Structure formats: C-alpha cells, structure tokens
Amino acid sequence: MSDVKRVKFQYKGKEIVGTVKRLNKKTVTVETKTHTFRVPYPLITPKMKPPKPSQKKPSNQRDWTASQTKDYQKSVTATIESLTREKLSSLHVAIRLLGEALKEGNEDAIHEISNETIAELNLIYNLPPLKVHTGGKRRMTRSGGQYYGVYRTNGKQKKKYSTSVYSRTAKNQKYVAPKTFLRTLIHEWGHHYDKHKLGLKNTYHTKGFYERIKTIYDQLKEPLESKIR
C-alpha cells in the first residue's frame, strides 16, 4: 500500500477526510468516522496511483517442465485405432452382461466382467495388465462432486497398475447406470493406454484424451443403447 494514510476528497460539495484502507484497481477504499467510501483515484488528494498488477500466476497455472510439455502436446494430437467388428463381437457380449449385472446389483459379476473387458482391450492394444477394482460407493470431492474412478501406478512392476471404478453413487448408494459405469471404466483405461501405448509419463485430460476414449466408448456402448431385458 502507498505511504499515504490520510486523504481528502469532495463528496456532495463537502470536503471529506478519511483513512486509506485498501487500494483497488480503479478506486481507493477510504474509511471515515461514519462511512466507508470507494473513491476514484483522480478525486483523491494527495494524488495516488493504482497498485501494479500482481505478477503471481493464477492457481490453475503451473510451470511446465520440458517433459510435461512434450507429453501434453502428444496427448492433444494422438489418436487411437478403432476396434474392428471382429474384436467388438466378444466385447459386446461382455458389455451386455455388465449392463445386466449393474441392473441386478451383482457385485461379483460386475467385478469379473469389468476385468475381462479391460483384459481384452489390453490384449488388443498390446498393453500391460491392469487390475480393475469395483464395488463401493463414490467418494465426494471437496467441491461437492463425486470421484467416479481413479487410475493408479504404484510402482514399476506391471502388476502394480490398477484402477478403481465405483459401482454405487455417493449420496443414495444406488447402482450406477450401465453407460455411466462403462464410460468411467474406459476413461480410466484411457490413462493406461496413454501411459503405455503413447509412452507418456504424465497423462492429461486433453481434448485428444477425450476423443480417444470417446472412440472406444462409442463402439462398446452399442449393447447398452437398447433396453436391457
């Protein structure tokens, strides 16, 4: 803040004297014995200047390393090869069964079929094993949202890669809708794909990332488009 503590200005034909409390971008906050005013700088005596813009970066910005920048750019531009109709035939059977298991609340089947689906995708795209943990309710975020799933890389060994996809909602603990569950499952697998197929040390939620998982999800969701009998 400026060294100026006491200032005066004209208000309704009278000279007002007060104490500077804060310098804003366009006005000065001045406090008198009875009122608080926000006074434009040109009306203040002695003359004052607005504070210089803060050099501090917003909290959503960060300093990127060369490796992070490279990974981010690759994530934006990389694509994924669509599944062939031959590969989809067995996957569609699994997805239909997964939808039925979610409708019935069959935790064992949800777990088994989720792992089978991911194992098949890993085989098709030549990726290391990825253990899928299912069940439990979603965790709440600080902002009031929900964590749908999480991808973990706890070590260098292939068996260390895992993901959790919660099968029940956080508030009422109802079983997640089949298409929502599948979308989350493929989302977490997408991080696995980016890490091992694209060779990214850092996986990001870029436009390219969402386009890749949409390519796979749109093909896999077909059995869930019609009403599950």
Token pair, residue 42, equals: 């040109």
Full-prediction pTM beyond 0.85? Answer: no
Angle ∠(91,96,99) on CA atoms, nearest 5: 125
Distance CA 172, CA 169 (A): 6
Per the CB < 8 A criterion, the answer to whether 176 and 164 are in contact is no
| Cβ-proximal residues to 220 (8 Å cutoff; 6+ apart), any chain | 83, 88, 91, 92, 95, 117, 182, 186
Per-residue model confidence (pLDDT) at position 3:
61
Provide the pLDDT confidence category of residue 59 given band limits of 50, 70 and 90.
very low
Note the pLDDT tens digit of each residue in 130-145: 999 988 776 666 666 6
Domain residue ranges in the chain: 6-43, 66-223
- pLDDT-derived band at 200 (thresholds 50, 70, 90) equals very high
What is the band of 148 on the pLDDT scale with cuts at 50, 70, 90?
A: confident
pLDDT, position 23: 87
Q: Of 28-37, 115-124, 165-174, 205-214, where does mean pLDDT reach its minimum?
A: 165-174
